[in-house]
Amino acid sequence: MNRREFARLLAIGGAVPFVTPELTWARSAKLPPTPASPDEKFWMSVRDQFVMPKELTMLNAANLCPSSAPVLDTLYKTTRDMDQDPSMENRAKLGEGRENTRRLLAEFLRVTPEEIVITRNTSESNNLVSTGLDLKPGDEVLLTADNHPSNHTAWQQKAKRFGFTVIDVPVPNPHPGFDYYVDAFTKAITPRTKVISFTHQTSTVGDLFPAKDICRLARERGILTLVDGAQSFGLFDVDLSDIQPDFYSGSAHKWPCGPKENGVLYINKSAQSKIWASIFSAYPGRVGVSRTFEGFGQRDEPAMIAFGEALKLQTQIGRANIERRSRELTTGLIEGLKKIDGVKIWTSPEPSRRAAVLSFQPGSLDVRTLSAALYKNDHLGCATRGGQDRPGLRFSPHFYNTHADVEKAIAAVKKYMAAGV
Ligand SMILES: Cc1ncc(COP(=O)(O)O)c(C=O)c1O
């Protein structure tokens, strides 16, 4: 199938057969050193590190981020090296590369390599916790009502199997403030509470939770904490030595812009004796908890090594800069959207209670039709939320986005709100 046929199929909305992508991508210019105050020109050069065509605006970091060219290069070169010579002798260096990624992850999260398990994604990390803890009838697990299924359905299913009880702390909209949550958890804790599990930033409307305060509250009462970091890892300059959870999870393919099917589970040294590994096989990690928790059999070590490359790029740009930039773009989107008649924004208007996930209802427009139109006509990718619970579109900008993307998104929503889809 040639490009023209491919484009025609896309235009008529037909099923597009899988075609092996071309293996060439534009070599990106080297990223210049990060200036003391990064300007738009610098962020444009960050954008150039990604292989997305210039006209494509992706506002869907909360779902899946593109890998940068350095990550793709590492992934391809390392995979090719392995497949050119798959002998044990040639592959020995890959194990060292995997341990290097563990060290980079530990530095990134400000903990020790002995506390890091390289998993496949947040879902796996969360489930390793809910399956691995010894919970029994009479025990209680406190959750926030707005969690991803890997941190909600997973606990409910395991409660059915092992007989413990799951209790949801309500999550009102709009965000009621951090004190509300500290108070709500304080009141919900009972002598039977064994675990508190919540999402650092929700994927639905981008509510932020006071992770450090909730973890402190739990620690003082001998309760374990799992912080689902799918929407904070690679976006915030997360410092686990400050937050001090027992467990923290994240995915490489989201905000870190790493390869797919790589993730992290942090297991605090103090919690390691309280959790069982769920999978036992060959090829575990070499240090600390990875020796018992990371024996998942044969892994994609080139991808694990490319994960490290993603962390290096973020560190080079500056993680505080990345968080600031993503927040600034989100604020720009909110400011523009709130001027459009009929748009209802679900995300908190208070900047400290939100970060880079923004959800809104575009009047009575059908969100799936709108999202399809945005992609087809405006080359803009985002996520939709159906159903009755805060339905609408979700924009989640990241450090590869520019102010031009923000303006384009606002103009496009305005156009469809005025003229229909
Ligand atoms: C809060 C949260 N937790 C967990 C996940 C699961 O992530 P993954 O699909 O990478 O396992 C997601 C995915 O969107 C999420 O938003």
Same domain, 199 and 285: yes
Distance from Cα 23 to the centre of ligand 1, integer Å: 29
Say if 4 falls within a structural domain: no
Question: What ligand 1 atom has the least distance to the C-alpha of 124?
Answer: 11
231, 247, 249, 384, best to mutate for ligand 1 pocket (most atoms within 8 Å of CB): 231
Is the same domain home to 156 and 43? no
* Rounded-to-integer distance, Cα 30 and Cα 97, Å: 23
What does the alpha-carbon distance between residue 301 and residue 214 come to, in Å, rounded to a whole number? 35
The enclosing domain of 43 has a CATH number of 3.90.1150.10
Tokens read off for 115: 């506390």
Closest ligand 1 atom, CA of 125?
Answer: 11
pLDDT (tens digit per residue) in 342-359? 999 999 999 999 999 999
Pair 52, 105 in one domain: no
In this structure, the answer to whether residues 226 and 308 fall within a common structural domain is: yes
Q: Of 315, 330, 355, which one is at a domain's C-terminal end?
A: 315
Parent domain of 46? 38-59+318-419
What is the predicted pLDDT for the residue at 30?
Answer: 87
Residues 38-57 have a mean pLDDT of 97
Ligand 1 centroid to Cα of residue 415, in Å, is 32
Statement to judge: residues 346 and 264 lie in one domain: no
336 with 230, same domain: the answer is: no
Q: For the domain that residue 139 is a member of, what is the CATH number?
A: 3.40.640.10
> 7 in a domain, yes or no?
no
pLDDT in tens, 248-285: 999 999 999 999 999 999 999 999 999 999 999 999 99
In a domain, 98, yes or no: yes
Give the predicted TM-score (pTM) of the model. Answer: 0.94
Q: Are residues 308 and 211 in the same domain?
A: yes
Q: Are 64 and 254 in contact (CB under 8 A)?
A: yes
pLDDT tens sequence across 216-227 = 999 999 999 999
Q: How many domains does the chain have?
A: 2
Contact, 313 vs 70, CB < 8 A? yes
Q: What percent of the chain has pLDDT over 90?
A: 93
> How far apart are the CA of 198 and the centre of ligand 1, in A?
12
CA of 81 to the centre of ligand 1 (A): 31
Asked if 269 contacts 287 with a C-beta cutoff of 8 angstroms, the reply is no
Model pLDDT for residues 194-223, shown as the tens digit of each residue: 999 999 999 999 999 999 999 999 999 999
255 and 110 fall within a common domain: yes
67-79 confidence digits (pLDDT tens): 999 999 999 999 9
Q: Do residue 43 and residue 171 come from a single domain?
A: no
Mark whether 311 and 323 lie in a shared domain.
no
Tell me the CA–centroid distance for residue 26 and ligand 1, in Å.
30
- Partners of residue 395 on adjacent β-strands: 358
Residue 178 and residue 216: Cα distance in Å, rounded?
14
